Structure 1
Amino acid sequence: MEDRVLIISDPLVMMGKPIVAGTRITVELILEKLAAGETSAQILASHPRLTPVAISAALDFAKETLRADTVYPVAAVSV
């Protein structure tokens, strides 16, 4: 099975934010929904063009991005 690129960034789509290929759904939106307590099933129901694999790809993209050797200044975050 051939690997498909599921997360792309195009400066002409959603201001260049990483999105799920073939949609205008940003990785940021998926992360926000998960952080707010939505389940993958709820996200999939709200966004029928998404797949479970796309949600996993968004999480993997975020993981790999944060793993990069970059310093992110972070203010205190309330939980």
Structure 2
Amino acid sequence: MEPSIVSDPKIMLGKPVVKGTRITVEHILEEMAGGRTIDELLDAYPSLTHQGIQAALTFAAESVRHERVFSISNHT
């Protein structure tokens, strides 16, 4: 069974988390953006799996894909 991303108002204020953990998608992205590797995340968070990290990354990519982007032009 592959981990999924869930949102429950009773867990981490409803932020998306890897199912079965309290590890948010946001936290995984922040850690990786800060230079942590997947192996370092797995070592730091024993409840996290490679599949959980992949689920978080896929969720984040899907979230961005569906965002509407508006161009803001600077008039000087």
The question of 1:23 aligning with 2:21 is answered yes
Amino acid of the structure 1 residue aligned with 2:21: T
Can you give the 5+ residue segments of structure 1 that lack an aligned partner in the other structure?
A: 73-79
**Residue equivalent to 2:56:** 58
TM-score (norm 1): 0.81
Deviation track 1:29-78 (CA, whole Å, cap 9, x = no partner) reads: 00000000000000000000111011000000000000114348xxxxxx
Partners of 2:2 and 2:51 within 8 A in 1: no
Partner of 1:22, secondary structure, is coil
Identity %: 50
TM-score (norm 2): 0.84
Partners of 2:38 and 2:50 within 8 A in 1: yes
**Residue equivalent to 2:5:** 7
Figure out how many residues of one structure are paired with residues of the other and give that number.
Answer: 71
Cα RMSD over matched residues? 1.8
What is the Cα deviation at residue 6 of structure 1?
A: 1.2
